[in-house]
A and B are shown apart, each in its own frame.
Chain A
């Protein structure tokens, strides 16, 4: 069982090497990608069942026990997020492959895309599983380096600037992370998360607060928390739809996961954190208002992404088992739905040849399937019952209402941000799907994978999008057992003992 924990990291990185070897055969590359991700999903499902039945599954790399060696830990939270992330990655890969096939035919594939895609998956898996602060840094670097390539691939004059912003911001946050690690090591003499949990408690409170704030800033940049969010709406919309969907689904959530893990395990506080509550409110409101001001479909979705990062921060800020459980459930829901929306955005752009909402119209008559594909995830994001968004928001609201007066007030902002989200998506609906039909614009730049007004879509692109919607419906349908799992995960996170005992023995 313990060797299984290494597979989510090993399989994609070996797969990436294989896809480089088979660079000449597009079909083999595609097959490797799909098989690897399908295997990782299966492994993640097994790990989730194992972790839920008998506690965290730990593997000591190289046989060195913690805290000397590096450990990989799959507890309820990491196994659950790994499972959802891999399923979403798989669906996005299918979509990306079919987009490529409909644009360029079956016989060619980009030499870089498949290896880099699998490397990104490696980084995400490692970030979820690692029990070591420095490996977390390495995981982030693998993931970000892959994302740099994906966001600047086939770039042109209009897109290069946003790619550069993204790379520079991410590099800066990585260097801040490195600084944090150095300070943590200087004050405690360890980078193992479980060992840190014990040693940080012995530090003077001032130093502990400093280290805690540094991690919040570092992961806050990666998670696009307001006021550190400015790079996201500027860079994400400038990548092709599948890449944006992958980034929006996974990268920011990995930042939130790292925050959740370090804040609960290493820097446990007593009661709600005022700083995080304020940041959560700011993130929710600024993101939602930003979305209302946008005319570019992808930028609008990016601002909604920022807004919903605030929801996850809120669950963390409440700082009890229910809050952590709510955040976990929200991450699961949001990974699926945000990736779906960006994929649908890609499909809409292919139909209309533009990302500008003003230039779309009457799409519901021309493409009713697309209307359905947009309506379900949009309502899910806004949290209309009985969707998964409603289930996740309910968990957060209950956690907020049950803690203190302060958290109950912030819970009000959760409702407000949900309504603003609903307003934003309804505006999109009215302007894109209703109204007078507008002719699709021609493809302005055929070499650009961003705005492809070819209207050429293959059925698998719709199937991949529909599959993600099915996942989000399944989350809503399985809300009972799922929220039981996240509730147990939240209790584990706050109790800390299951993790500490599993790692340190």
Chain B
């Protein structure tokens, strides 16, 4: 079983907590940075899972017992490539969202908006524009093309 030193444990704790904190935010940009930070945390943990730093595992350069474990390094490399690619995709998606809706905010889900709409006295989402303190966003306006359940 591998144990790690306190400094690394603290770094990991900070990376994970910052990552999860940012994931809870509304702006897609912050969520994206949260994913990146969380990804760094996971990759660092994967690295540390191989044990303390040691010599490069290349035959002939050092005695075999001084080698670092190469497997977690290979795993971390793969994971870095994957998180990198998917972060790029998410970034592209954020841009698309900005083009389509004018902001990159992750909205409440449809069900929440339906319930909120049905609890308003007039019971319709189109009325968002009048009187309420909500900012009109094209996203929910387009979503309201879909039928809204009438209050009973």
- Residues in chain A within 8 A of chain B (CB atoms): 134, 137-138, 141, 145, 148-149, 152, 155-158, 160-165, 167-168, 171-172, 174-175, 178-179, 181-183, 185-189, 191, 203, 230, 233-234, 295-296, 354-356, 358-359, 444-445
Residues in chain B near residue A134, CB distance under 8 A: 75, 78
Is residue B101 contacting chain A, with contact meaning CB distance below 8 A?
yes
Contact: B145 with A358, CB < 8 Å? no
Residues in chain B near residue A189, CB distance under 8 A: 2, 69
Given contacts A145-B82, A175-B83, A185-B49, 10 further A-B contacts (CB under 8 A): A164-B94, A164-B106, A168-B23, A175-B19, A175-B42, A182-B45, A182-B49, A183-B49, A356-B147, A358-B150
Q: A156-B100, A179-B45 given as contacts; is B35 within 8 A of A296 (CB)?
A: no
Q: A160-B96, A161-B139, A165-B106 given as contacts; is B1 within 8 A of A187 (CB)?
A: yes
Output the least CB separation between B79 and chain A (Å).
5
Which of A161, A162, A171 is within 8 Å of B86, CB to CB? Answer: A171
Contact: A145 with B46, CB < 8 Å? no
The complex places the Cα of A156 from the Cα of B97 at a distance, in Å, of: 9
Output the least CB separation between B75 and chain A (Å).
5
Contact: B147 with A354, CB < 8 Å? yes
B110 nearest CB neighbor, chain A only: A234
Contact: B38 with A172, CB < 8 Å? yes
Q: Which residues 126-147 in B have Cβ within 8 Å of A in the complex?
A: 138-139, 142-143, 145-147
Contact: B100 with A138, CB < 8 Å? no
Q: Which residues 105-125 in B have Cβ within 8 Å of A in the complex?
A: 106-107, 109-111
Residues in chain B near residue A165, CB distance under 8 A: 106, 109
The complex places the Cα of A233 from the Cα of B100 at a distance, in Å, of: 23
Map CB proximity to A onto B74-99 as digits: 1 under 8 Å, 0 otherwise.
01001100110110011001101100
Q: A164-B28, A186-B2, A191-B75 given as contacts; is B89 within 8 A of A178 (CB)?
A: no
30 inter-chain pairs at a CB distance below 8 angstroms, sorted by A residue, are: A145-B82, A145-B86, A148-B89, A156-B100, A156-B142, A158-B145, A160-B96, A161-B101, A161-B106, A161-B107, A162-B110, A164-B90, A167-B89, A171-B86, A174-B86, A175-B35, A175-B83, A178-B42, A181-B46, A182-B42, A186-B4, A186-B48, A186-B49, A189-B69, A230-B109, A233-B111, A296-B146, A356-B146, A358-B147, A444-B145
Output the least CB separation between A399 and chain B (Å).
34
Contact: B45 with A168, CB < 8 Å? no
The complex places the Cα of A230 from the Cα of B110 at a distance, in Å, of: 12
Which of B39, B69, B111, B147 is within 8 Å of A234, CB to CB? Answer: B111
The complex places the Cα of A123 from the Cα of B52 at a distance, in Å, of: 34
Output the least CB separation between A4 and chain B (Å).
26
A135 nearest CB neighbor, chain B only: B78
Is residue B66 contacting chain A, with contact meaning CB distance below 8 A?
no
The complex places the Cα of A181 from the Cα of B79 at a distance, in Å, of: 11
Residues in chain B near residue A168, CB distance under 8 A: 23, 31, 35, 90, 106
Which of A138, A182, A186 is within 8 Å of B1, CB to CB? Answer: A186
Output the least CB separation between A181 and chain B (Å).
7
A149 nearest CB neighbor, chain B only: B89
Which of B35, B43, B79, B139 is within 8 Å of A172, CB to CB? Answer: B35
Number of A-B contacts (CB under 8 A): 135
Residues in chain A near residue B139, CB distance under 8 A: 157-158, 160-161
Output the least CB separation between A472 and chain B (Å).
30
Q: Which of B85, B107, B147, B150 gathers the greatest number of chain A CB atoms within 10 Å? A: B147
Is residue B57 contacting chain A, with contact meaning CB distance below 8 A?
no
Q: Which of A156, A168, A178 gathers the greatest number of chain B CB atoms within 10 Å? A: A178
Contact: A175 with B39, CB < 8 Å? yes
Residues in chain A near residue B109, CB distance under 8 A: 161-162, 165, 230, 234
Output the least CB separation between A353 and chain B (Å).
11
The complex places the Cα of A165 from the Cα of B109 at a distance, in Å, of: 9
Contact: A182 with B48, CB < 8 Å? yes
Output the least CB separation between A425 and chain B (Å).
19
The complex places the Cα of A189 from the Cα of B147 at a distance, in Å, of: 54
Contact: A181 with B75, CB < 8 Å? yes
Contact: B79 with A178, CB < 8 Å? yes
The complex places the Cα of A320 from the Cα of B79 at a distance, in Å, of: 35
Residues in chain B near residue A152, CB distance under 8 A: 93, 96
Contact: B82 with A155, CB < 8 Å? no
Residues in chain A near residue B145, CB distance under 8 A: 158, 444-445
Contact: A160 with B100, CB < 8 Å? yes
Contact: A158 with B143, CB < 8 Å? yes
Which of B50, B90, B100 is within 8 Å of A157, CB to CB? Answer: B100
Q: Which residues 23-74 in B have Cβ within 8 Å of A in the complex?
A: 23, 28, 31, 35, 38-39, 41-43, 45-46, 48-50, 69, 71-72
Contact: B2 with A171, CB < 8 Å? no
